[in-house]
Structure 1
Amino acid sequence: MGKIIDNRQLVDAPGALRQRRYGLFDVATRLPMDRRVAAAGIQFLTDHCGPAELYDQTCTDSPVKPYTEGSDLMGADPFWVIVRKRCGSVGRTPEEMVAAARSQLDAQDQTRVEDVVWDGGGLATIDATDTLTGSGATVVTPLATGAGAAIAALENAAYQVYGYRGVIHVNTQAEGALKDAGVLDRLESGVWRTAVGTAVSLGAGYDITGPADAAPDAGFVWAFMTAPVFEWSMDVAQPEATRTLDRSLNQWDVVAERIHAVAWECPEVFAVQVPLAAPAASVPPAVP
């Protein structure tokens, strides 16, 4: 039986119970941001990131005990993610428009933040050294083919430096190869982890480029590994819709925006090319 009236009815949009994918916001420790950070950025000392050395305690040579010179500073600049929506005021309430902008921001916020973390997202205000591609990452060469060997080499290099579990950042295009290789070993509280416990951030907002934005070999994507990641953000700011109404055109003009800053604990970053073939069928690329 066909419809009786040729006039579709407006109902509430479905999808209220949405689940975020397994990206940066899941692996990062999320912290509140105050106005001072929003105005000037943030920095912190990396005292716990220094090396530890073995010491020969015999009396024959009486060697000098090694020391670490000073402490590095890690930093992060604030950046804004915004959604602006315009729509005729007839038939839409101000509350509906404010909610619509907030919903769109919530859906795309993580992807845009991942974009900035990878290479600055084209923002002139982001220091390139605070991004994955501009961090001066050490390139790792796997000992065998396949995504599993690539990630194992990445973890081996990083954990010779980090004292704590780190984070692997990679574009979602590598998901199939990582799953096939058993890299995505288990799911803990919404976070994919490898067999040794490294968190894996599968980012649709990440690019596939490597250190200094170098392109990967054909059939590969670059992956980075950092120390644990922190993300600071403020509450979503939304002016009242009636205050931003374009009265000349009778159009709602609403905005939703959130300020973010992202940093990882230690300055050392590592990178490797991950083959996309599953099962693996490629030769490891030469180190650029």
Structure 2
Amino acid sequence: MAGIRGIVDGPDFVALPNVLWDAAQHPSPGGPHWQQGVTWTDWCGGAGTTYADECIAVTGTGGAPPAPPAWETTASGVDRGATAFTVYAAFDCSLIGLPDTDQAAEALARSEAFQVSRAFWTGTAGGQATVWPHLAADAVLDDPQGIRLQTAADEVLAAADDPAVVVGALDAALAEQYGGQGVVHVPVAALATLKSRALVRKDDDTGLLLTPGGHRIVAAAGYTGSGPDGAAPAAGTVWLYATGALFGYRGDVVVRDFPASFDRAKNTVRKQASRTYLFGWECAHLAAPMTLGVPT
């Protein structure tokens, strides 16, 4: 790249906060085989209450207390599965001043978080529905072995409502259906609406955003706001999702060049950087439509 003007370094690239990877737990994968997909067992459900009839003093009834009901099954184990997907950046380089591998990885870094969250929301990679589980889903999918790859989002509200109502409903449903710290998934365009109502606070220890109920918030740039059926949200609304605890694996950035792609007419060669991801979550899968806008 020659010219009459001096060559300088451009500004440093600064990644946006609140990316999907930051909100996920990162357990040890135990080797590279996770890239073929993983399976685990979720113990979902709850507990019940009972009493010991011999310890109850009944007064004013003239009789003994009733026998306690039989214990019923309150939780169940579900075999769950998740598939991996790869994010890549590819570009053609002039053989004069050919970029090194660091520049190839930097090209990936500029769009990686967006593409990861877009795939995790929509379930689409490379134009095909291959990312399981994903958020915007209204149907269950099991593989031939009966492993559950996809759950259908449970819509906790029938229609779009005020953000405080929506976040409260998701917090309450997570508390009832999951019981632990879950994750609320928010399109980045909705974050200002939530902050205008003081529905977001920052955890001083982790720097993560939290709901009033204490669940993690990820406001990812690639989240589309679409509903469980994949349809775009109505004007002035977006869909929010909530899940149980989120976990993820990711590989190292792999950089390749392809000498066979040499274009003699343009004197260029193809370079490519890629990284593979996998995400899954526990138990709860909730959805609710929310009205955008500041308080009146």
TM-score, normalisation: structure 1: 0.83
Residue by residue over 1:76-123, the C-alpha shift from the partner in whole angstroms, topping out at 9 and shown as x without a partner, is 101110111102111x2342xx22221121121111111111121255
Determine which of 52, 55, 58 is the counterpart of 2:53. 58
Matched, 1:28 2:24: yes
Structure-2 change in CA distance of 1:244 and 1:212 (3 Å): same
Aligned identity (percent) is: 26
Structure-2 change in CA distance of 1:31 and 1:253 (3 Å): farther
Q: 1:211 is paired with a residue of what secondary structure?
A: coil
What letter corresponds to residue 26 of structure 2 in structure 1?
R
Larger radius of gyration: 2
Contact (CA 8 Å) 1:32, 1:234: kept in 2 or not?
Answer: no
What residue in structure 2 maps to residue 79 of structure 1?
85
Contact (CA 8 Å) 2:167, 2:211: kept in 1 or not?
Answer: no
The structure carrying a bigger strand percent of its residues is: 2
Determine which of 2, 6, 9 is the counterpart of 1:9. 6
What residue in structure 2 maps to residue 238 of structure 1?
255
What residue in structure 1 maps to residue 167 of structure 2?
151
Residue 223 of structure 1 and its aligned partner are, at CA, apart by 0.1
Determine which of 154, 160, 169 is the counterpart of 2:176. 160
| Number of aligned residue pairs | 266
| Alpha-carbon distance between aligned partners in 2 of 1:207 and 1:180, rounded to the nearest angstrom | 21
What residue in structure 2 maps to residue 194 of structure 1?
211
Q: Map 1:200-239 to 2 at 5 A.
A: 200-239=217-256
Determine which of 125, 128, 135 is the counterpart of 1:124. 128
What letter corresponds to residue 218 of structure 2 in structure 1?
S
Q: 1:272 is paired with a residue of what secondary structure?
A: strand
The structure carrying a bigger helix percent of its residues is: 1
Structure-2 change in CA distance of 1:232 and 1:143 (3 Å): same
| Alpha-carbon distance between aligned partners in 1 of 2:159 and 2:124, rounded to the nearest angstrom | 33
Residue 138 of structure 1 and its aligned partner are, at CA, apart by 1.3
Structure 2: stretches of 5+ with no match in the other structure: 55-65, 138-150
Q: 1:26 is paired with a residue of what secondary structure?
A: helix
Structure 1: stretches of 5+ with no match in the other structure: 1-5, 281-288
Structure-2 change in CA distance of 1:181 and 1:142 (3 Å): farther
What residue in structure 2 maps to residue 3 of structure 1?
none
Structure-2 change in CA distance of 1:143 and 1:262 (3 Å): closer
Structure-2 change in CA distance of 1:137 and 1:219 (3 Å): same
What residue in structure 1 maps to residue 148 of structure 2?
none
Contact (CA 8 Å) 2:45, 2:76: kept in 1 or not?
Answer: no
For the aligned residue pairs, the C-alpha RMSD in angstroms reads 2.5
| Alpha-carbon distance between aligned partners in 1 of 2:26 and 2:103, rounded to the nearest angstrom | 24
Residue 163 of structure 1 and its aligned partner are, at CA, apart by 2.1
